[in-house]
Amino acid sequence: MNKTKRHEIFSRLQKDNPNPTTELNFESTFELLIAVILSAQATDKSVNIATSKLYEIANTPEAIYKLGETGLKKYIKTIGLYNTKAKNIIKTCKILIDEHDSTVPDDQKKLEALPGVGRKTANVVRNTAFGHPTMAVDTHIFRVSNRTKIAPGKNVLEVEKKLVKFIPDEFMVDAHHWLILLGRYTCVARKPRCGSCLIEDLCEYKDKTE
């Protein structure tokens, strides 16, 4: 895919949705961090249902840490891998309290040092909360990047590096959200809805009839 075509793709996505954001509900950087940790192998909808109740009771590192693993599990037990996530979140809260004055750091390495926070989660937080031009590649973005040929790659890291390289700078801050939404609602896994896609004529997907 050439530079001109990529620019037109993101121009259209921007025109269609000028101010995209995550579908996770949050009112602070800490709430976002916890929601993103919970969203691993879970839907945003299920996370929002759980956090809507959790955050009414506890929405700071101190408050969630005070709940303990057992107390936290009561709120997140409907989410996959909730046992592991509860353990990681409690540990993360403790580190935030002890090492970061109860604030979420705006630093890739410091974020990735938190239990339950990998490269993707750190990229989401830095992009959504702090406005950095990072690219968090989830299953949707991986699929869209390969299917459209915007940035094909064999693994998540390869796709991430290509997207950062190929996406025009003016679109980078919002590109993560546009590609997720495209993959979640239009360029879906089993049968892409090509007829309703606003970049269909620019896409290099070969088998649009499958």
User: What residue type is 74 in one-letter code?
Assistant: K
Annotated catalytic, 120?
yes
Does residue 109 have an active-site annotation? no
Set out the domains of the chain in order of their start, with CATH numbers: 3-20+134-196 (1.10.1670.10), 29-128 (1.10.340.30)
List the catalytic residue out of 5, 66, 101, 138: 138
Which pLDDT band holds residue 13 (cuts at 50, 70, 90)?
very high
pLDDT digits (tens, 9 = 90+) for 53-64: 999 999 999 999
Q: What per-residue confidence (pLDDT) applies to 207?
A: 62
Cα–Cα distance between 65 and 121 in angstroms, integer? Answer: 20
pLDDT digits (tens, 9 = 90+) for 21-71: 999 999 999 999 999 999 998 999 999 999 999 999 999 999 999 999 999
Q: Rounded to 5 degrees, what angle do the CA atoms 74, 76, 80 make? A: 130
Per-residue pLDDT, 206: 74
* pTM as predicted: 0.89
H helices present in 149-193, as ranges: 156-166, 172-185
* Length in residues, the chain: 210
Residue 113 has pLDDT above 90, yes or no: yes
Q: What mean pLDDT is reported for the chain?
A: 95
Q: Considering the candidates 120, 174, 191, 206, report the single residue annotated as catalytic.
A: 120
What tokens does 49 get? Answer: 């249902």
Confidence at 208, pLDDT banded by 50, 70, 90: low
